[in-house]
């Protein structure tokens, strides 16, 4: 057999897809993904891991020199060939592979029998866009796509497996297109986007699964556990990617940590019901799979029709979780986000929600806006409550007329005044929903999703509009488009505040199509509204992080990560997201304390120190800020704007937690480095804290300084009497007035050393430990934190 180099141009750039002796070699800069066509036409998975030179892969192939016990031979003349013991690229059903199939298609004549054999392949330069869903994009210089055609002629089914190799990004995406080539209708009851059979020995024999799970105001907490026998995984059935389980997950070797070891990452470019699973059987193989959740899904295909899955994203790193995250981050920025948002600086926002709730008006907003502009904010977002009837969450959704009582001169007057203050204007919308108390619902009650003959259920007092209905889509496109064209809005927050139930539409051919068609049409609506308006920065939101996924990021610049703005909760939420999503996509605001969601009281410094590792904003009644707080906020914003590029587009690393209650984050870009050191809970008589600084040049000398921050004196209560010349009542007027105008310096620290020295871990100054205060002591207590800025002093030899 010859050696066929399929993409020689790509090979010069270090990436390649090659086909040699029936084996497909997919090569990225640091990884290899290989599979081969077996003697019976199945695709045998060979290797996904560190990059290997292309060679005869036999030594990596699964042995078949003996018959397996308790197996079914695929062919009578070849009793040692059983599909149950082979690693496979994409299994059919009913052929002797007893692991779960990614594909269940019911045909009228053979039921569920499906034997998918190789028929041919094609290679395309660049990515191939899907017809109905968003997919990652890559130019011919960045990406190469291999399409493998499989078929079962007896069943009348063709399956095309798409593999797009993003070589420099070290990512491979996969998706599947199925086609009915038979004479009768078939029903696709399950069709996942990928299957990957990995030897568990490649992950140290004791692999771990890491998922990102939660609830409203507690999204994307990382959970790490050993994979036991049988099934593990995540799924969503809420109609969106959900705050229950993010679609992204990781598999890691037993000994992997943030900086070492083998880690596989999986994600999905999809905003609907998803399933991600790992099946651990007795054969030493793990079957990883992911795609649309088959629960409640079925898709009939008439002769000649096709169905395409969402795209799955696969990455591997042998440099620990940080190595994997770096690859995923770069991939999202370069190949998922719309090109217009890629490296665009995100403005510092003021958002009206937490301070004003529904009680917005031109007068009240302008009071906040004057303060916001004075403090250095750049974008002013009018959140919920601006349209007619929207006094609370029982009314108004569906209509887009401005409330004349709140805005007697219309929104245009506000936008003009914001502009005069130097602020861009932004607006909140929730176009997928309708309240019963709205003109839209009174006119078109049939536009809401509902099971015929049964009252529809409410969530947050609202119904879900039936986006399977083209008239509804046109209405949303026209209404939001008109709002954006009537005013100079530079930003939109697109919200979605309930889950789907009563998931039935008369506008699809079968009930099992509704949830998926809704999502496909949503993406079309977003494309129609925002592609022609590239000046509008889109942020998406779904009660916070209920729809934090790659398909929403194919339209938007960032996503509101959580309605929870308590920084201690945000440590978990933002850290969880950081495994798979870059900081420029994670929207993070500072609000008042005690927090609306937890009642926790946290220092203003920590609220900033957490939010700055993301896209910064404030949701705060700025009129209530004391003079000291105003100074602090002004300095925070100036600091963020100076280092914005680093916080939004730098390389992010999580340092291995020295203690469950400490988090250490770092951003760097080769020139600058900033670290955040966070303490959730203080312990008495603490051991010295070490702060490791990663990625510096070993022989260059650096200076590390804490970012100046204020300690507000009302934090100390009666303790303040230890440092004041006269005794003060902690609840008295003298102290409360003083607290508005005076503060203490917190943690003034400075350290110098070479990169090699700093990598050992700086022995940080003492924390407060009940003995004394001075400006060099780190006054952390519960919820305390400090930022450290690293500057280069002298080049090494």
Considering beta carbons, is residue 384 or 566 the nearer one to ligand GLA? 384
CB 287 within 8 A of CB 197: yes
CA 157: distance to chain centroid?
34
Between the two ends of the chain, the Cα-to-Cα distance in Å is 54
Query: Smallest distance, Å, CB 527 to ligand GLA?
Result: 23
State the number of CA atoms in the 13 A half-sphere of 528 facing the CB. 17
- Tell whether the torsion through CA atoms of 34, 39, 43 and 47 is positive or negative: negative
Considering beta carbons, is residue 166 or 353 the nearer one to ligand GLA? 353
Choice among 384, 403, 495, 564 that is catalytic: 495
Burial class (CB in 10 A: 0-12, 13-18, 19+), 728: middle
State the number of CA atoms in the 13 A half-sphere of 249 facing the CB. 28
Query: Smallest distance, Å, CB 670 to ligand GLA?
Result: 35
CB 267 within 8 A of CB 291: no
Query: Smallest distance, Å, CB 430 to ligand GLA?
Result: 7
Torsion of CA 231, 199, 190, 316, to 10 degrees: 100
CA 32: distance to chain centroid?
25
At residue 226, the 3 state secondary structure works out as: strand
DSSP structural state of residue 627: H
Q: What is the Cα–Cα distance from 404 to 523, expressed in whole angstroms?
A: 32
Considering beta carbons, is residue 331 or 428 the nearer one to ligand GLA? 428
Considering beta carbons, is residue 279 or 384 the nearer one to ligand GLA? 384
Query: Smallest distance, Å, CB 246 to ligand GLA?
Result: 16
- Tell whether the torsion through CA atoms of 301, 303, 305 and 310 is positive or negative: positive
State the residues that interact with ligand GLA by CB under 6 A. Answer: 353, 383-384, 428, 495, 497, 541, 543-544, 560, 563
At residue 431, the 3 state secondary structure works out as: coil
Query: Smallest distance, Å, CB 393 to ligand GLA?
Result: 6
Choice among 563, 566, 668, 689 that is catalytic: 563
DSSP structural state of residue 389: T
Query: Smallest distance, Å, CB 69 to ligand GLA?
Result: 55
Query: Smallest distance, Å, CB 215 to ligand GLA?
Result: 14
Q: What is the Cα–Cα distance from 331 to 23, expressed in whole angstroms?
A: 27
Q: What are phi and psi of 609, to 5 degrees?
A: -60, -30
**566 flagged as catalytic:** no
Q: What is the Cα–Cα distance from 135 to 129, expressed in whole angstroms?
A: 6
Letter string b/e over residues 319-336, b meaning 16 or more CB atoms within 10 A of that residue's CB? bbbbbbbbbbbbbbbbbb
Burial class (CB in 10 A: 0-12, 13-18, 19+), 412: middle
Query: Smallest distance, Å, CB 484 to ligand GLA?
Result: 18
At residue 534, the 3 state secondary structure works out as: coil
Query: Smallest distance, Å, CB 383 to ligand GLA?
Result: 5
Show the beta-strand stretches assigned E in 51-185: 103-107, 117-125, 143-152, 157-166, 171-180
Query: Smallest distance, Å, CB 611 to ligand GLA?
Result: 14
Considering beta carbons, is residue 311 or 384 the nearer one to ligand GLA? 384
**563 flagged as catalytic:** yes
378, 329, 335, 334: which is closest to 667 by C-alpha? 329
Considering beta carbons, is residue 435 or 543 the nearer one to ligand GLA? 543
Locate 66 and state its tokens.
């003996």
**H or E element at residue 290:** strand 285-292
Considering beta carbons, is residue 459 or 753 the nearer one to ligand GLA? 459
- Comparing every residue's Cβ against ligand GLA, the nearest one is 384
Considering beta carbons, is residue 426 or 576 the nearer one to ligand GLA? 426
Show the beta-strand stretches assigned E in 715-760: 743-746, 750-754
Query: Smallest distance, Å, CB 272 to ligand GLA?
Result: 19
Give Cα separations from 623 to 108, 116, 238, 347, 447 (angstroms): 69, 66, 39, 21, 42
Considering beta carbons, is residue 89 or 384 the nearer one to ligand GLA? 384
Considering beta carbons, is residue 194 or 407 the nearer one to ligand GLA? 407
Considering beta carbons, is residue 253 or 429 the nearer one to ligand GLA? 429
Residue numbers annotated as active site: 495, 563
């Amino acid at each position: 057999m010859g050696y066929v180099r399929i993409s020689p141009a790509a090979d010069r750039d270090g990436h390649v897809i090659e086909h040699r002796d029936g084996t497909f070699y997919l090569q990225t800069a640091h990884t290899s993904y290989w599979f081969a066509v077996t003697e019976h036409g199945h695709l045998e998975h060979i290797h996904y891991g560190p990059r290997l030179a292309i060679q005869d892969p036999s030594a990596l192939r699964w042995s078949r020199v003996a018959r397996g016990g308790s197996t079914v031979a695929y062919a009578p003349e070849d009793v040692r060939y059983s599909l149950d013991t082979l690693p496979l690229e994409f299994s059919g059903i009913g052929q002797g592979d007893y692991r779960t199939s990614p594909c269940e298609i019911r045909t009228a004549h053979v039921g569920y029998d499906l034997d998918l054999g190789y028929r041919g392949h094609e290679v395309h330069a660049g990515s191939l866009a899907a017809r109905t869903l968003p997919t990652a994009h890559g130019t011919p210089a960045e990406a190469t796509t291999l399409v493998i055609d499989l078929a079962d002629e007896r069943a009348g089914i063709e399956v095309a497996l798409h593999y797009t190799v993003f070589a420099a990004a070290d990512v491979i995406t996969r998706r599947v297109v199925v086609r009915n080539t038979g004479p009768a209708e078939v029903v696709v009851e399950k069709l996942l986007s990928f299957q990957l059979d990995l030897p568990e020995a490649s992950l140290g024999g004791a692999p771990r699964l890491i998922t990102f799970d939660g609830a409203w105001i507690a999204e994307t907490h990382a959970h790490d556990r050993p994979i036991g026998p049988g099934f593990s995984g995540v799924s969503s059935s809420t109609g969106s990617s959900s705050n229950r389980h993010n679609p992204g997950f990781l598999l890691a070797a037993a000994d992997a940590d943030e900086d070492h070891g083998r880690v596989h990452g999986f994600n999905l470019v999809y905003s609907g019901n998803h399933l991600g699973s790992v099946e651990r059987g007795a054969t030493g193989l793990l079957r990883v799979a992911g795609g649309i959740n088959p629960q409640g899904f079925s898709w009939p295909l008439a002769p000649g029709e096709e169905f395409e899955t969402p795209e799955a994203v696969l990455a591997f790193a042998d440099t620990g979780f940080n190595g994997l995250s770096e690859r995923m981050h770069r991939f999202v920025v370069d190949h998922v986000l719309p090109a217009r948002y890629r490296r665009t600086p995100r403005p510092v926002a003021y958002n009206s929600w937490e301070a004003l709730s529904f009680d917005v008006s031109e007068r009240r907003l302008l009071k906040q806006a004057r303060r916001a502009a004075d403090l250095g904010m750049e974008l002013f977002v009018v959140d919920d409550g601006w349209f007619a009837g929207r006094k609370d969450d029982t009314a108004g959704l569906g209509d887009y007329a401005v409330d004349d009582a709140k805005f007697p001169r219309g929104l245009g007057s506000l936008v003009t005044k914001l502009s005069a203050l130097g602020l861009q204007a932004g607006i909140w919308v929730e176009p997928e929903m309708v309240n019963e108390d709205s003109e839209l619902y009174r006119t078109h009650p049939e536009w809401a999703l509902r099971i015929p003959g049964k009252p529809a259920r409410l969530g947050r007092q609202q119904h879900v509009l039936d986006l399977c209905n083209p008239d509804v889509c046109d209405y949303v496109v026209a209404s939001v488009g008109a709002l954006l064209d009537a005013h100079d809005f530079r930003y939109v927050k697109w919200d979605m505040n309930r889950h789907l139930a009563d998931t039935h539409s008369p506008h699809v051919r079968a009930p099992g199509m509704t949830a998926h068609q809704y999502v496909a049409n949503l993406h079309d609506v977003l494309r129609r509204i925002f592609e022609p308006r590239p000046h509008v920065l889109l942020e998406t939101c779904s009660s916070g992080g209920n729809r934090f996924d790659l398909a929403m990021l194919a339209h938007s610049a960032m996503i509101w990560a959580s309605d929870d703005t308590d920084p201690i909760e945000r440590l978990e939420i933002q850290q969880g997201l950081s495994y798979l999503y870059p900081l420029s996509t994670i929207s993070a605001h500072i609000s008042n304390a005690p927090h609306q969601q937890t009642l926790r009281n946290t220092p203003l410094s920590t609220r900033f120190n957490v939010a700055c590792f993301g896209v910064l904003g404030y949701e705060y009644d700025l009129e209530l800020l004391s003079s000291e707080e105003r100074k602090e906020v002004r300095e925070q914003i100036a600091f963020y704007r100076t280092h914005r590029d680093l916080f939004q587009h730098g390389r992010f690393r999580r340092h291995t937690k020295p203690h469950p209650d400490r988090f250490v984050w770092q951003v760097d870009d080769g020139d600058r480095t900033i670290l955040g050191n966070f303490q959730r809970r203080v312990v008495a008589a603490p051991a010295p804290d070490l702060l490791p600084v990663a990625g510096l040049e070993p022989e260059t000398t650096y200076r590390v300084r804490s970012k100046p921050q204020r300690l507000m004196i009302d934090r100390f209560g009666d303790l303040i009497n230890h440092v004041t010349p006269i005794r003060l009542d902690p609840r008295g007027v003298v102290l409360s007035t003083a607290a508005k105008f005076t503060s203490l310096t917190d943690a003034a620290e400075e350290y110098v050393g070479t990169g090699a020295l700093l990598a050992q871990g700086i022995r940080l100054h003492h924390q407060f430990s009940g003995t004394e205060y001075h400006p060099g002591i780190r006054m952390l207590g519960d919820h305390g934190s400090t930022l450290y800025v690293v500057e280069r002093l002298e080049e090494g030899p």
